[in-house]
């Protein structure tokens, strides 16, 4: 009995493209690494640690937040950011699955 391979849909591939597009910028990768090194950081702390302006950090956090790679919590005027590692792992596993299925 042959096992039927499921191909990724166009929407699944578009979502993967959005994910990798969000990771194309070095500052966004630096933000992810900084958050991985710390449990959580404020936007101001991220700006200081990365030696860039707070508005620039906020600009680059937006696509990471929209994709669920970074989550935030607010405490008064401060915005605390933390890495959503399970979501990053899920997206990578999904991509590897698509490649593995295509290679079969």
In a domain, 3, yes or no: no
Token output for 84: 């959503």
- The predicted-structure confidence for 8-59, as pLDDT tens digits, reads as follows 788 889 999 999 999 999 999 999 999 999 989 999 999 999 999 999 999 9
Does 1 reside within a domain? no
Mind listing the pLDDT tens digit for each residue in 46-94? 999 999 999 999 999 999 999 999 999 999 999 999 999 999 999 999 9
Who wins on pLDDT, 101 or 6? Answer: 101
Residue linked to tokens 């890495």: 83
Residue 5 inside a domain? The answer is: no
On whether residue 53 sits in a domain, the answer given is yes
Query: What is the phi/psi pair of residue 70, to 5°?
Result: -125, 140
14 closest CA partner among 72, 87, 94, 86: 94
How many domains, the chain?
Answer: 1
Q: What is the per-residue pLDDT for 56?
A: 97
Confidence at residue 102, expressed as pLDDT on a 0 to 100 scale: 83
Domain that holds residue 41: 11-103
Judge whether 70 lies within some domain: yes
Residue 35 is part of a domain; what is its CATH number? 1.10.10.10
**For residue 100, is pLDDT > 80?**
yes
Question: What pLDDT, on the 0 to 100 scale, is given for residue 2?
Answer: 42
Q: Is residue 78 part of a domain?
A: yes
Tell me if 2 is assigned to some domain.
no
In this prediction, residue 1 carries a pLDDT of 41
- The answer, yes or no, to whether residue 7 has pLDDT greater than 80, is no
Do the domain assignments include residue 61?
A: yes
């Amino acid at each position: 009995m042959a096992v039927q391979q499921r191909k990724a849909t166009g929407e699944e591939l578009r979502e993967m493209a959005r994910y990798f597009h969000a990771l194309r910028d070095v500052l966004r990768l630096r933000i992810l690494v900084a958050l991985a090194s710390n449990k959580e950081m404020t936007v101001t702390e991220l700006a200081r640690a990365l030696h860039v302006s707070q508005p620039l950090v906020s600009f680059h956090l937006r696509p990471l937040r929209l994709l669920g790679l970074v989550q935030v919590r607010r405490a008064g005027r401060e915005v605390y950011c933390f890495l959503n590692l399970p979501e990053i792992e899920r997206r990578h596993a999904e991509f590897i699955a698509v490649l593995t299925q295509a290679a079969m």
